Amino acid sequence: MNLTGDLDDAVHQRIRLGMLALLREVDRADFTFLRDTLELTDGVVHRHLKVLEDAGLIDVEKGYEGRRPRTRVRLSSAGKAALDKEIAALKRIVERVERAAGAEPA
């Protein structure tokens, strides 16, 4: 069994994993919320949102609020499934490490 074979490169990157986790908590989030919560620059947020959108893991809505452009993001059903799969794979890794640590003499 490949221990890391179930990890998805599009999801597993720490910033994208953080974005998906935040989006799982809310119906949708705006660009500013993601940027500020994850303490990122605009460019980094744009780049990672593009990867997630291209992978079909998020839906991006662009519009205006008054005269200000507004980008809102929501987790797609494929994104929810990918995040669930990623978390399950991470749990298997943690369980394996914990079993090995429990087997070591104190």
Host domain of residue 80: 9-99
pLDDT tens for residues 24-48? 999 999 999 999 999 999 999 999 9
Which whole number is the average pLDDT over 83-92?
A: 94
- Flag whether 44 is in a domain: yes
Burial (CB count <10 Å: 0-12, 13-18, 19+), residue 35: middle
* CATH number of the domain residue 17 falls in: 1.10.10.10
- Flag whether 3 is in a domain: no
Which whole number is the average pLDDT over 66-73?
A: 94
pLDDT of residue 6: 85
What is the number of domains present in the chain? 1
C-beta neighbour count of 23 within 10 angstroms? 24
- Flag whether 1 is in a domain: no
